[in-house]
A and B are shown apart, each in its own frame.
Chain A
């Protein structure tokens, strides 16, 4: 059974640009969550999606957005990139909404220069 797949694994962008990150959950999983991980702030919750609906949103500016498709795949978009957006972005999938165990992908390492 394939795990959670995040693409791309590494990304370098320039300030002011926008970026789209992709997450394919484990087959059959319907819930997807996104986290931003930085050395200073740790793991910060971004969004949680279930059945194409955003169920929760973390305390991030409107430049951060996401969506989930009918096949449960999810994307997140960051517009007008800032240096502080450099981080490891992690996606996690669960079988159902509010399921107890989350399965994480390897993450996308975004560097903003």
Chain B
């Protein structure tokens, strides 16, 4: 299975601090994406990084990808209480394979 595994499972930080979440996966991938989910609701796409990219930025988000280690990290800078949510990485491989999600990191940002 290429399922991603996020680490840590839960993270609690103070507002203004940076939050880093990691994702590891098992097989070669085409793309890796990060999604956010507020409690019990649908997922929202945050950022996509392709297998030939190493780093990508979007606002306060920074994603890195290390294909040699089969891992990715999501950094949220200057976190806000509104960033409190679960964050999932999702991978897709070449060929006829679906998008596969990890189990997520639950981030709590305390005001």
Contact = CB atoms under 8 A, between A and B. Distances in A.
Interface in A42-92: 42-43, 45, 48, 55-56, 58, 88, 90, 92
B100 interface: yes
Contacts of A42: 101-104
Interface stretch (B41-49, B53-61, B68-76): B41-49
A109 B40 contact: yes
Nearest to A109: B40
- Chain A interface mostly: strand
A25 interface: no
Interface residues of A, number: 23
A35 B104 CA distance: 15
A104 B44 contact: yes
B57 to A, nearest CB: 17
B101 A106 contact: no
B97 interface: yes
Given A42-B102, A100-B33, A56 B40 contact: no
Contacts of B100: 45
Interface of B: 31, 33, 35, 40-45, 48, 88, 92, 96-104
